[in-house]
Amino acid sequence: MKVYLDNAATTPLAPEVFDAMVPYLKNEFGNPSSTHFYGRQTKAAIETARRKVAELIHSKPSEIIFTSGGTEADNMALNCAISDLGVQRIITSSIEHHAIIHTAEHICNKSKIELDLVKLTENGHVDLNHLEELLTKSEKKTIVSLMHGNNEIGNLLPLNKVSKLCRKHNAYFHSDTVQTMGHYTFDLEALDIDFITCAAHKFHGPKGVGFLYVNNKLKNTPFIHGGSQERGMRGGTENLYGIIGLAKAMELAYSGLKDHQKQVQSLKTHMINSLRSSFKEVDFHGDITPENSLYTVLNVCLPKTSKASMLLFTLDLKGVACSGGSACTSGSNKGSHVLEGIAADVSKPNVRFSFSRYTKMEEVDYALEVLNEVYRKNLVE
């Protein structure tokens, strides 16, 4: 048996998404910038996709810029804030995705832009009092970039509260919503935010496509220069079939959202309860309460073994695909910056299980069975 429990890394393509993309991989191939029939046809398809995406998150089509994924959208948000909005300071946290941390560090190393890291609470939430302190202490024009759902520990940020704080202190607000787009509803008429980011492959869409939402109030110039695609905001021939797939994946994700949320949360709760009954010493990183945590992610801290580095490898051999969260489990020299950021005990094996609406209870049970076997037979001793 093979089970895929690494959906925070990427998700399988939904069959309906594949079907929606096929015509654009076959017959409808025109360059959307061409003025002839072939081009007009694909241009119209892209604009229909943009309208669909905008409608689903209650924004305007002109606020959606299609990109090559989450990383490009994150880069675009920070770089545009610096080059177009007069931002002189970035506030972020040490547990953001590298698409934000490395971008912020790069910007701040090559210019006089200040970088401030907000403190985290013991269970990995952003300390909102410290955020307010940081926002109060400087007159510099600031962008706050804080992710909505953490891809390793699953903690959720209260977007409304952070948005209000940012507005109170006249700061711009970007949230990396890569792990929550397609998994939670967004109402951008009600939520006052400047930028959010999306990657289609996190909700059963294709890889290599995403978007940046840019609030219409902002005046931005392109991040990628070239042709006049995306209303001049992002040069380069559009990823036509990717954009079609993204819109279809979003439509599917939102059409059954409540059921998906319930179903996936029940898998996570089952895993938590079963692990607690099998392992006395088990612990979980981050906040695992359903209201404060991604229902798709569970980061488990398992009992110590002398060969923790073998755990992921052994799970993989037994057909369980999941991911590690620290040096000792990932097999790399570098540990997880997220676990380090929350001062987690990385001497114990940490494993991230992540679920999707296609995950079956039997698959979770199989993973639990394998984990129990691994410990019972001391396969990692």
Ligand X SMILES: Cc1ncc(COP(=O)(O)O)c(C=O)c1O
Alpha-carbon distances of 140 from 80, 87, 116, 207, rounded to whole Å = 16, 7, 12, 37
Total length of the chain: 381
Q: How far is the CB of 208 from ligand X (least distance, A)?
A: 7
Ranked by CB distance to ligand X, the top (closest) residue is 70
Indicate whether 71 belongs to the interface with ligand X (CB under 6 A). yes
Indicate whether 180 belongs to the interface with ligand X (CB under 6 A). no
- Cβ proximity of 352 and 152 under 8 Å: yes
- Interface with ligand X (CB under 6 A), residue total 13
Tell me the three state secondary structure of residue 144. Answer: strand
Helical H segments across 124-256, by residue range: 128-137, 159-168, 240-255
Q: How far is the CB of 198 from ligand X (least distance, A)?
A: 8
Among the listed ranges 12-20, 66-74, 229-237, 307-315, the one in contact with ligand X (CB under 6 A) is 66-74
Look at the block and give the residue holding tokens 């959208």. Answer: 73
**Distance from C-alpha of 320 to C-alpha of 5, rounded to nearest angstrom:** 7
- Binding test (CB under 6 A) with ligand X, winner from 30, 32, 70, 205: 70
Indicate whether 174 belongs to the interface with ligand X (CB under 6 A). no
- Binding test (CB under 6 A) with ligand X, winner from 78, 95, 126, 199: 199
- Binding test (CB under 6 A) with ligand X, winner from 43, 52, 97, 285: 97
- Binding test (CB under 6 A) with ligand X, winner from 30, 32, 69, 222: 69
Cβ closest to ligand X, residue 171 vs residue 178: 178
Site string for ligand X, 14-53 (x = CB under 6 A): ----------------------------------------
**Distance from C-alpha of 99 to C-alpha of 145, rounded to nearest angstrom:** 11
Look at the block and give the residue holding tokens 């972020």. Answer: 92
Cβ-proximal residues to 106 (8 Å cutoff; 6+ apart), any chain: none
Active site residue 80: no
Look at the block and give the residue holding tokens 């967004």. Answer: 186
- Return the amino acid letter for 200: A
Cβ closest to ligand X, residue 63 vs residue 176: 176
Binding site for ligand X (CB under 6 A): 69-71, 74, 97, 99, 147, 151, 176, 178-179, 199, 210
Residue positions annotated with a catalytic role: 328
